Amino acid sequence: MDLHKFETNPTVFIENSFHTNDFFEIFIFEKAKGYLELNGDRLNIGEHSLFFISPHQKKSYEIDLSDIKGFHLVFQNDFLSDFFDDKLFVYRLQYFYNSKYPQYLKLPKREYDKIQFILNEIISEINDFQNNSIHIIRSLLYFHLSKINRLLSKHYNLSPETQGS
C-alpha cells in the first residue's frame, strides 16, 4: 500500500504511454487538468474527481503536472483481505469492476473534504509509523474505500452493499 500527495511527488505512477499495473489505484484530484484514458474511454480530469483503476486495465494519462493537487493511492487486495478475512471485499466495491458505469466520480467539495481528511490521516500514520500504525492504516483504508463506495453507489443509483448473501 502506498499513498502520496501529488504536490510532493507529481510524477510517481504517471506514465503517458499505455501500460498496466498489477495493483489497485485511485487517483484523487483536488485540482488538475488533463485526461485519463482507461480501456479506450477518455475521461476528463477536473476538480474533486476520483478515478478507479483495477489491476491489468490498460491506461495512459495526459496531465498537466505543473498545477496538480491531490492524492494517489495504490494497494494490493492482500493488504486488506488478509487482515479483515474478507478475500472478496475489493472485488465487491462498485467502482473497480462495474462495467456499466464509468470508473469515475466527481464529488461535491464537502464530500471531497471528508475524503481528503481520511487520506491525510493515512499519510500521518505512514510518516509517524508506530507499532500499531499498520492496523490504523488498514482501518482507515477500509473506511475510505467503503465511504467512496457509498458515494459512487448513491451517484449512480446502485446498491452500496459489499457483502454477498
What are the φ and ψ backbone dihedral angles of 47, each rounded to 5 degrees?
-60, 140
Whether the Cβ atoms of residue 6 and residue 70 lie closer than 8 Å to each other: yes
Task: Kindly state the cell numbers that stand for 57.
Answer: 486495465
Distance, in Å, from the CA atom of 41 to the CA atom of 67, rounded to the nearest integer, reads 24
Q: What are 143-152's pLDDT values in tens digits?
A: 999 999 999 9
What is 31-53 written as a DSSP string? E--EEEEETTEEEEE-TTEEEEE
Q: What's the CATH number of domain 2-156, 2.60.40.730, 3.90.1560.10, 2.60.40.10, 2.60.120.280?
A: 2.60.120.280
Q: What are 35-51's pLDDT values in tens digits?
A: 999 888 899 999 999 99
Tell me the whole-structure pTM to 2 decimals: 0.89
